[in-house]
Amino acid sequence: MANADSTLEYDVIESESQPAKVQTVTIKDGKILIKDVGGGGKLDFIYSANPEILFIVDHGKRSVMALDEGQVNKIAKQTETVQPLLQGIGEQIGKLDPKQRAKWESMLGGKVDLDNLAEAAKPAQAVKIVKSGKARKVTGIECQPMAVFQGKVKSAEFCMADAAKLELSVMDYATIRSLLNFLERVTSKTQGLAKQFGINLPNLNLHDVVGVPIEIHDLSSNSHSSLSLKRFVPSAESVDVMKIPEGYQFGPFKLWK
């Protein structure tokens, strides 16, 4: 029975009023398993670095959505088509007085968030990442604090650790970086459209920042969610956990339900 090369356990806090949940990230042979995403035991992510594909496994529905470069480009094309329309609607919503807004919300049956649509009228802010202090330690592992700015507003803080500090193999580190780069391309091409539907996809833009994120604080929402490394295990579960269960129905990736 083969063992996973690396497992990282993170404490995830979705809001300051909720207790931390443990999120495991297991790496083996060019694949990554993110188990029990969001808690509840129903959702897993399986990422393959070669070819680059993210499988979203829903155990509750016994279904799998596959996201690859072709799907990302398709979503980007849809975004280019729909975004100008949503921006126009957003500009008009921004001009409504409270009584007019209430009338429109009533006409739409309360199912459309006008504030989300209004966000379309705002110009995209440039993202910049800067070092934010001296190296410090998270769970005994040294990392470099960084800050993400969208325009002049700080939207996130994170701390990057060198792969050697985590004792990651060259292949495991390359697999993690492949996932980070893949997610960056996804968020950069879908962030604008997703925002109109109330889906916040943070763009950390880590392409030019070396290392592995072992702590992240999202400052862009009221919940101030965070992720912090709890422990690193050099070897762990059987590689069989990376496999998609038999009998699950495959379908195309959907940005929203």
For the stretch 47-63, pLDDT in tens is 999 999 999 999 999 99
Tokens, residue 59: 């155990």
Task: Give the bridge partners for 13, in sequence order.
Answer: 226
Domains identified in the chain, total number: 1
What is d(CA 186, CA 203) in angstroms, rounded to the nearest whole number?
9
What is d(CA 239, CA 236) in angstroms, rounded to the nearest whole number?
9
237 occurs within a structural domain: yes
Task: Give the bridge partners for 228, in sequence order.
Answer: 11, 215
Tokens, residue 179: 């996932």
Q: How many angstroms separate the Cα of 193 from the Cα of each of 17, 55, 67, 98, 148?
A: 29, 21, 17, 25, 21
1 occurs within a structural domain: no
257 occurs within a structural domain: no
Tokens, residue 48: 């393959």
28 occurs within a structural domain: yes
Which residues span the domain enclosing 36?
6-252
Per-residue pLDDT tens for 199-254? Answer: 444 555 677 788 999 999 988 777 778 899 999 887 655 667 788 989 999 987 76
214 occurs within a structural domain: yes
Question: How many helices and strands, by DSSP H and E, does the chain display?
Answer: 4, 13
Q: Categorize the per-residue pLDDT at 197 as very low, low, confident or very high, splitting at 50, 70 and 90.
A: very low
Per-residue pLDDT tens for 133-191? Answer: 999 999 999 999 999 888 888 988 999 999 999 989 899 999 999 998 888 887 776 66
25 occurs within a structural domain: yes
pTM to 2 decimal places = 0.76
Q: Are 49 and 174 in contact (CB under 8 A)?
A: yes
Q: ∠ CA 45-198-153 to the nearest 5 degrees?
A: 95
Residue 106's Cβ-count burial label (10 Å; 0-12, 13-18, 19+) is: exposed
36 occurs within a structural domain: yes
Decide if pLDDT at 10 tops 60.
yes
What is d(CA 28, CA 32) in angstroms, rounded to the nearest whole number?
7
What is d(CA 223, CA 14) in angstroms, rounded to the nearest whole number?
7
Q: How many angstroms separate the Cα of 147 from the Cα of each of 9, 80, 132?
A: 23, 29, 6
What three-state secondary structure class fits 240?
A: helix
**CATH code (residue 111):** 2.50.20.10
